[in-house]
Amino acid sequence: MGPILPGHSAAGRRFLPSPLPLGLGYGGMNADLVSIGLKFPRWQDAVEAAIGSNNLTVAGEVRGGQLVQFSDRSGAQINILAAEPYATFAGFRSESLAFANVTMLSDVIALLNVVDGAGNDVASLTANLAQGPLIADSEGLTFEQVALTALMVDADCYDSALDYETATGEVLGLFLSPGAELVASGSGHATPDAAAEFSAEVLEAEYRHNALTGQRFIHATVDGPFAFDVCLPDREELPQKGSVVAGTAVMAGSLLNPVGGACGCGGGSCGCGGH
C-alpha cells in the first residue's frame, strides 16, 4: 500500500483539511523551500503539489502512521510525518557526508555532535533530520554518517575571503547554531530549531532545476568547518570557486543508512529481512 496522508483516503483523494504543521525549523517561514526550487505562496501549497506528483515513498511506520518523503531528481525533498504530532519539513539529497553523534530533541529536530574520524568533537548543531521520527524514541546514535545541507533563507555572496572579512569584520569559517547553544545552556525557556549562521568558501557551484516546479536554484559544495552542502535561491551570477557564501539557513540532515521501522517489521533499514 502506498502512503496514506492526513486528509486523504487510501486512494489519495483529499477529503479533509490537512492538520499538518508546516515548515518546521525557522519560524514557520517557507524561505527554505525557495532555496531548493519550491517557491509557493504557502507551505500547504508545496505539500499539495508534492502529494499530487505521486512521487512519494514511505520511509517508515511511526506510531500507527507513516513517515513519507517526496524526492525530486534535483535533490529537493519534503518530509511528511503523517502521524501525531504531525509535521512537514524540507530536506535535500546532499553530496557531503559528516560523522556525528545523534540525539533527537523532538520528532524532527536532532542535536548533531559532529566528530572527526578519531571521534574528536568538531562542532555541534541542530538540524531537521529526515529520519528523525523513526528514531525519536531511541537513546541516540553514535558515529553515524549524516548528509548535511544548509538551506539558505538569507544569503550574501562575496568575491573572496578578503572581501568577506573586509565587509563584515568576521573571520571566514564561522558556524553558529543557536539551537545547539540553547541545549548546551540547559535553558528550558525556548525550543531549539534548525537555524544556523555561517560563512564558507565555495568549492563548486551549479544551477539545478526542480522538476516539480521548473524553478532554478543553486547547489554548492563548500569548504566549511565540517562537510555540508549549500542550497541558495536562484540568482543571475553563479558563485565562483573561491568566493564566499554567508548568511542564515535551515540545516537539513539525513542519515546515510536509514534506521527504524521502514516497513513495520522491526528489521531496521528494511530489505525486507524482518519477514
Better-scored residue on pLDDT, 10 or 22: 22
Among residues of the chain, what percentage have pLDDT more than 90?
77
pLDDT digits (tens, 9 = 90+) for 138-188: 999 999 999 999 999 999 999 999 999 999 999 999 999 999 999 999 987
Q: Which three cell numbers stand for residue 244?
A: 564566499
Q: Give Cβ neighbours of residue 210 (< 8 Å, ≥ 6 apart).
A: 36, 37, 38, 72, 74, 76, 216, 217
Greater pLDDT, 5 or 227: 227
Q: How confident is the model at residue 257, as a pLDDT? A: 85
Torsional class of 35: left (φ above 0), alpha (ψ -120 to 50), beta (otherwise) = alpha
Residues 202-232 pLDDT 10s: 999 999 999 999 999 999 999 999 999 999 9
- Domain residue spans in the chain? 94-255
Average pLDDT on 80-108 reads 96
Has residue 261 got a pLDDT over 60? Answer: no
Query: Which of 72-76, 91-95, 195-199, 254-258 comes out lowest in average pLDDT?
Result: 254-258
Q: Is the pTM of this model over 0.95?
A: no
Please classify residue 184 by burial: count the beta carbons closer than 10 Å to its beta carbon, then call 0-12 exposed, 13-18 middle and 19+ buried: exposed
pLDDT higher than threshold 60 for residue 253: yes
**Interval 14-39 mean pLDDT:** 61
> For position 3, what pLDDT does the model report?
63
- Kindly indicate the confidence band of residue 273, based on its pLDDT and cuts at 50, 70 and 90: very low
